[in-house]
Each structure stands twice: as C-alpha cells, then as structure tokens.
Amino acid sequence: MENKMTNLLDGLNDRQKEAVTTTEGPLLVLAGAGSGKTKVLTHRVAYILENRLAAPWEILAITFTNKAANEMCTRIANIVGQMSEDIWIKTFHSACLRILRRDIEKLGYTSNFNIYDTNDQKRLIKDCLRELNLNEDNYPIKSVISKISSAKDEMIDCKEFAKRNDDFRGEKYAMIYARYQQKLKENNAMDFDDLIAKTVELFKDNPDVLEYYQNKFKYIMVDEYQDTNNLQYIFVSMLAEKHRNICVVGDDDQSIYKFRGANIRNILDFEKQFDDAKNIKLEQNYRSTQTILDAANAVIANNFERKEKKLWTNQGEGEKIEVRTCSDQVDEAMYISGEIEKLVSSGKYSYKDIAILYRTNAQTRALEDNLSCPYRVLSGLRFYDTKEIKDILSYLRVIYNPNDDVNLTRIINVPKRGIGDTTVGKIAAFAESMGVSMFDIISDEKYLEALGRSSAKIREFSAIINNLREYIDNIPLVDLMDKVFTETGYADSLMTENTPEARGRIENLQEFKSKALEYEKNVEEPTFGGFLDNISLVSDIDNYDTEQDAIVLMTLHSAKGLEFPVVFMCGLEKGLFPSYQSEGELDKLEEERRLCYVGITRAREKLYITYALQRVMFGKTESKVVSEFVGEIPEKLLNRTDNVVRKQFASYGSARGYSGSDLFGGAGKKSDMDYSAIIAKSTKSGAEMKSSVTYKKGERVMHKKFGEGMIVGITESGGDMMLEILFDNVGTRNLMASFARLKKL
C-alpha cells in the first residue's frame, strides 16, 4: 500500500501531474475526451490523503452516474485501501439524498420519504389534472413535468411561478404545479428534481446545516462539470464557499444535455465565478487514433462557444474514416451488418467491441430488421420498469412509507382481490376530505363501514401491509422480499397463470432477490430504506453489461462516457443529425455539433459514418442531404464509398444545383470517385459556406420561425457571419448568415 501511495504520480503526464498536485484554491481541469480525467481525480484524492491535507471523510467527489461513482470508488480503493470507505464518492442525487435523510424533518417531511420516478410522476400529475378538472389533451403530462422541472431548476417555487405565468394557460400550469407539490408532501415523497432543490432549500433555510457541511468538506471535486444544471451549480457553490478548494473537471465540447437542464455556462464561466481559479488543459488522448482525433478536432473547431483545446495522441495515425453513401435506411443497415461480419470474421474484433450510434431511437427499426449478428438495444425497457418489478417495488415503498398514495393505488388490487376503481376512488376522496393518507383511511374501522362489500377485502389488504411492516430491518432483505411475494398473493397469482409470460415474470422476481442479496453483501450497513434508495438512483447506463458478446445499439446521448474499438455513426443527414430543431439557431446547432464530437471520440480504432439519400421515418419518405458535420471533416481523413443507383445520384445532384453532365459526363456514368468528389463538394463546412448576401447593423429582417427582427451585431468568421438579431417576439438570437435563410425587409 505504501508503495502505491508513494508512486501515485508515476505514469501521469505533466499536465495530469499538475492537476493532481494543485490542491489549494479553485481549479478548472479542462479534460478532453479520453484524456484520463478519472485517473486524475482518483490520484488527486490519493495525493490529498498521502500528504495529510484532509481526512477521508473531509473529501467529497461528485459525478453523474452510479457507474462512474463505482469506478472511482474501486480505483481509489486500489490506491488507498480501506480509507476509501469514508470518502463521499457519490452522484449529485445520492449525495443530496444522504443529506436529506439526516435533516429533512426541518422541511416538514419525515426521513422515510419515497423517491418518485417518471412513472410515479405521471400518475401523480394525472391525479392533479383530474382533481382540477383539466383535460390531459390541453395540458399534456410530459409538458407539465417539463415545466415543473424547469421551474425547480431555476429555484422558482409555486408562488413565484404563478406570478410569472399570469395568462390563462399559465395560471392553469401554476395550479397544477402547486397541487403536484402539495400531493408530493402529503405522500411524503420527492421527485428527482426535489432531491437537489430541497437540499438547497435546506441549506438556505438552515444556516447551521450548511455550516456543518461547509466545515466537513475541505476538498470538493466535481466530475463532468459541463453537465451540471443551475441547481447543481448552486449546491456545489454553497458547499465550497468556506474552504474554496473546489476542483471541477469537464469538457465544454461534450456538453450535450441542455434538454435535461445542463448549462454550459457553468464550465465556460467558472473562472468568472472564481477569479483566482487555475486552468489546466488535458489534451493528450489515450483512447483513439490521431485520424479520429483530427476529425473530432476539425468538427468541433466550428463552434464559437468553447474553450480552445486540441486533442493529440501517441497511439499512431490509424486507419481512415469510412464514409458510406447509402440509398436508404435498409441499404444503410445491410451495409453496417455486412461490415460487422467482416470485422468479426477477421478475428480481430468480437461483437462486443462494436457499437452503432444514432441520433434518435426511431432509427433502430431498420437496423434491427436487417442485422444478422447478436445485438442489444440499450434504451430498451429497463429491468426496473417491467410490470412485476414495479408492482413489488410499490409494495416495498408502501411498507416503508404507508403515506405514499401513488404506490398504494397501484397495488391495492394487485393481484386482483375485489377492490375496484370505484372503491379506490371513494378511499381517495375520503383521504382528501380528511387531510390524511389513503392508508390512514383503510386502517380505520369507521371508514371501512362506508365502503360496503369491499370492506373485508380492504381490511385484509391493510392487515397484510401492517404485518409486513413489522419485519422492516428485522430480517434480511431477501427474506422480506419472499414474504412480500407470498403474503400478498403475488407469487401464487403468477404460478396459477402458468403462461410463458408469467414464468418470465417469476424469473425477473428471482433476479430482483439476487439484486437485494448483492446489495446486502456490498454495503457495510444495509437497510431496507437504503436498498430502496439504491434502486431509485439506478439508470440505464448503470446496467450496461460490457461483457455480453453482442453489438450494442444506442443513441449518441447514451454513448457518452463509453468507448469502443469500432463505432458506426449512422444517419448523418441534415434534418436528422443535426436535427431540424437546430436549423438557424446557433446554440442548438453547436450542441448538435458537440454531440457529433462525442460520437466520433467514442471510437478507438475504426470509425464508420453512414448516411442515406432517402429515409422513411414516422411514416414519411424524405429525400435527405448529407450532414454539414461530414463536410467539416478534412477530406484527407476519409475513405468514401457509395452504393447508389444513377437515378438517385441525378436526383441528389439536381437538388444541389448540379446538372446531369456534372454527375455522369456526356455519355455515361462517372466513377465512384467522381461521385464522392461531388458529394464532398456539396458538404462544405459552415466556415466555407460564405453567405452570398451581405448584412449590416440596423437592418430589418424576417426569419421563418422567429418572425421580424433587427440586426444588432455582426461577427465575421471564416468567410461567414454570425448575426445577433433582436426579434420582436422572441428576443435576441445568434444565427449564422449562411444557415439562417433571412429575408431583408
């Protein structure tokens, strides 16, 4: 152990050593893709401990996924041994959850609160709409959840939200938000946004609690800082206020989660928040070939909002990037399938070495229909989202927290025990009128009499729950789960059904027991509540099994943080990637370009890029044009191949202003190389696509989406112009002249 600690700087490059040994004051580590940031973080923790700058429990290391946190735990334990057990190595949500379990009573909750996932949220919003007599068609549940989440991210409470939304629809959304929060508290439950929002609220309302944690954590490290939202930024800033030994590690070029609330300004403006911050760039890549890195560097260089960095490697030049033009999505899928078989047949690669990445899940159908190799789709139904697991989880949550009306409603008649929807509605109405939980109603004899013929069944159900509650933390988790399976009648109902589907559900329940056993073995002081918390914080990516010998299909967003020897990026077409939504909007286009950069840098040895000239999506057949991102990659890095018929090339060229003779010469078909040159010619980067129209400040223009506006700023860039336009209806937008399609007024 002593040798490990003494030699912990061995094997680090100069910039990594600098990041590890810079311990005092604010530090921004700009870590390019594959530059060894996890190694830097783990060695930095070990360095702090070796030099006795802090005790293990005085260090907080935060990341975004359980997978990343577990990897960090393992690596640190390999260096420092048992000391690692006292370090707070957590996700944002798990760190906040631990804080809230200790002090949540100060906000009027009890410590056995449940955590609601998206499905629970949807059911609760439905209840709110019903109680407020609002139509789901007019107030879609996804829209409601999004608005509430955004409000919480901005620390806007129900009262402030109502003030800011005083038109007719805004008032209704404010009513839903208020009722939703009221019902969460009545159920003694929180959603994921609340875990962080309530922690910040706890800190603001209770200075003594904040001071305790400020004193506790002498060193704070945050991984993937580019992905933080406003709430997470506030949470970390409050904790770091006293000691100011905050190290944030991230890559602004990999900020791709704006739709989840991530704010790229947090990393771009870190040095404004901490004006004495040190900035260290990690640019040496240990993952990919130089050809792949050159492609990534070339694409991302077209972004304005970024901190300059350039990835390089000692891995060698590597193979050129394969770019394939396909006639349609079936041709694309068949090409990918054929290439995969060639790669595996060569003996150099296994199926598990290969990933297919795409912009949207809608692209998977053609791939799945035409792949001839073993595969899995990462975004398929999560284990914890299957009916049987959701049912048993609802039982466990009601046992833990009987005030949880949402989960009680789910299982009061599962398996069927003669308690119909009408009766459940009566119970809910009684509970609401009395200001108590539904479980309080079904446990009270005076209410049971009013429920008529169902009263005996309800009495039996409440007795089952009360009996199971006696076992909390008194018997092993696996034994408690067995009792839930049997005493609720759930296992018997599946065995009686005796269908292949029912047998599959029984297998899933056995697997659920295995997960409980695994939790008890891996946690020093396992508890029933801790097990439920552990499940609530699991994400899709945490369950990704890297050892299964099958190619993996996933969205580009899901692929972040992963790497593969071989990557296929498919559907590189304008309108698909980048998406239609980004057209004419600089910030959205730049995020799409960052997503492309993430996709390229997932590849270690071989990268394939495919696009189709025609694609059927959502029941419509559309002609497609290759993405500008392909045109931003230097031609010398590419090996282009095409597989389209003469007619499709003619159609493609005509759409881009080429004549038939440009494509085929006078008498016949040109070579594939000529076709490639034409396609390359039509995919110039944004910097090369100089606008033929000139603009000046003060001019009035019309945009098809944003309406009328006035140009208030112009920035020249590589032959193009970034226009700052103040629109009459939507405020200021930054648009590239070559993409904006503006009409002068």
Burial class from Cβ neighbours inside 10 Å (0-12, 13-18, 19+) for residue 133 reads: exposed
- Which among 153, 191, 224, 632 is annotated as catalytic? 224
Please check if 61 is assigned to a binding site.
no
The yes-or-no answer on residue 397 being catalytic is no
Q: 16 by DSSP, 3-state: which?
A: helix
- For the sheet containing 564-569, what is the strand order? 375-377, 551-555, 354-358, 564-569, 603-612, 321-326, 638-643
Q: Is there a contact between 738 and 695 (Cβ–Cβ < 8 Å)?
A: no
Q: What DSSP designation does 27 have?
A: E
Burial class from Cβ neighbours inside 10 Å (0-12, 13-18, 19+) for residue 454 reads: buried
Please check if 666 is assigned to a binding site.
no
Any idea which residue has 């589907």 for tokens?
Answer: 501
Q: Is there a contact between 725 and 711 (Cβ–Cβ < 8 Å)?
A: yes
Encode 248-280: b = buried (16+ Cβ within 10 Å), e = exposed.
bbbbbbbbbbbeebbbbbbbeebeeebeebbeb
The Cβ-side half-sphere exposure at 371, using a 13 Å CA radius, reads: 21
Query: Any idea what the Cα angle at residue 383 is, between residues 379 and 385, rounded to 5°?
Result: 85
Please check if 25 is assigned to a binding site.
no
Please check if 423 is assigned to a binding site.
no
Please check if 489 is assigned to a binding site.
no
- Which among 223, 227, 590, 628 is annotated as catalytic? 223
Instruction: State the Cα–Cα distance between residues 340 and 351, nearest whole angstrom.
Output: 8
Strand 375-377 versus strand 88-91 pairing type: unpaired
Instruction: State the Cα–Cα distance between residues 312 and 321, nearest whole angstrom.
Output: 17
Please check if 31 is assigned to a binding site.
yes
- 621: enclosing H helix or E strand: strand 620-623
Any idea which residue has 């600690």 for tokens?
Answer: 5
- Which among 254, 289, 313, 555 is annotated as catalytic? 254
Cα distances from 502 to residues 56, 510, 601, in angstroms, run 48, 13, 43
611 forms beta bridges with: 325
- Which among 38, 284, 386, 641 is annotated as catalytic? 38
Instruction: State the Cα–Cα distance between residues 151 and 631, nearest whole angstrom.
Output: 39
The yes-or-no answer on residue 602 being catalytic is yes
Instruction: State the Cα–Cα distance between residues 630 and 717, nearest whole angstrom.
Output: 20
| Residue 342: CB atoms within 10 Å | 10
Please check if 318 is assigned to a binding site.
no
The yes-or-no answer on residue 254 being catalytic is yes
Q: Is there a contact between 332 and 610 (Cβ–Cβ < 8 Å)?
A: yes
Instruction: State the Cα–Cα distance between residues 615 and 619, nearest whole angstrom.
Output: 10
The yes-or-no answer on residue 224 being catalytic is yes
- Which among 15, 37, 410, 515 is annotated as catalytic? 37
Please check if 38 is assigned to a binding site.
yes
Instruction: State the Cα–Cα distance between residues 732 and 745, nearest whole angstrom.
Output: 18
- Which among 15, 198, 594, 602 is annotated as catalytic? 602
Q: What residue numbers does the annotated binding site for ATP cover?
A: 31-38
Residues identified as active-site: 37-38, 223-224, 254, 602
Q: What residue numbers does the annotated binding site cover?
A: 31-38
